[in-house]
Amino acid sequence: MAWYVFAIVDRPPAERPGRGLAGALAARQVPGGFAIVERRADVPPVELGALKQHDAVLTRVAEAVPAILPVRFGTLLELEEIEAALDEREEELAEAFDRVRDRVQFTWRRPGSDVRSPASTARPASGKEYLRRVAHAAKPPPAAFRSIRETLRPLVAAERYQRATPSIPDSLYHLVGRDGAARYRLAARKLASADPAVRVTGPFPPFAFAPDLL
């Protein structure tokens, strides 16, 4: 049976990590860290119940370790494959751990933001159109996020902006230290109540700041 991978962590949890989707979780040592895994024969179905369970496991593990890098949903590998994927990437892993250590993610969204039409995802017809799309995609966060960014800057360790897609609205991700999360939350409440066009959720494990590892 293969291992279903939830995350790579810098240290194994002090206590037993508990249950995963169906069986017990384990922390297996891999190059650069520890993989939080569960024995499974198949990939869980992409349905709401499995997603919620997966999310709950990650949240629980994230609270028990200093740094966590969530892995793509549905990652089912043999231990040798995990080791091969992470081999000689210790530096990359260490940098990623340093970035997210003792930090949590908050997510700002602006529903109703401009979404690229499905037609624009087709292959560009000309170089001009391609460059226009690249420039459009590389735009900085919109003005609606300006006051949020300026007000919360002292509390934010890292920031990432994701333009709206057909499924996800404009999103701004903030990485915030655990010790500053309460202050961030207070400030975020004020900002969100002053501007009904934006919404904030969190804290989450640092999903938006984890590199693609496996």
Where do contacts with another protein occur on this chain (CB under 8 A)?
2, 42-43, 46, 48, 51-52, 54-55, 70, 72-76, 107, 109, 124, 126-127, 130-131, 134, 137-138, 165, 167-168, 171, 185, 188-189, 192-193, 199-202, 204-205, 207-208, 212
Query: 91 or 123, CB closer to another protein?
Result: 123
- In residues, how long is the chain? 214
Question: Which of 81, 92, 73 has the alpha carbon at shortest distance from 32?
Answer: 92
Query: 40 or 149, CB closer to another protein?
Result: 40
H helices, E strands: number in the chain: 6, 9
Query: 22 or 131, CB closer to another protein?
Result: 131
- Give yes or no for a contact between 40 and 22, defined as CB atoms under 8 angstroms apart: yes
Query: 24 or 51, CB closer to another protein?
Result: 51
**Least distance (Å) between residue 72 CB and another protein:** 5
The SS3 call for residue 18 is: coil
- The continuous run of DSSP H or E covering 49 comes out as helix 48-64
> Where does 78-207 have alpha helices with state H?
79-86, 90-100, 127-137, 146-152, 181-194
**Least distance (Å) between residue 205 CB and another protein:** 8
**Least distance (Å) between residue 208 CB and another protein:** 8
Question: Which of 167, 156, 133 has the alpha carbon at shortest distance from 203?
Answer: 156
**Least distance (Å) between residue 91 CB and another protein:** 19
**Least distance (Å) between residue 106 CB and another protein:** 8
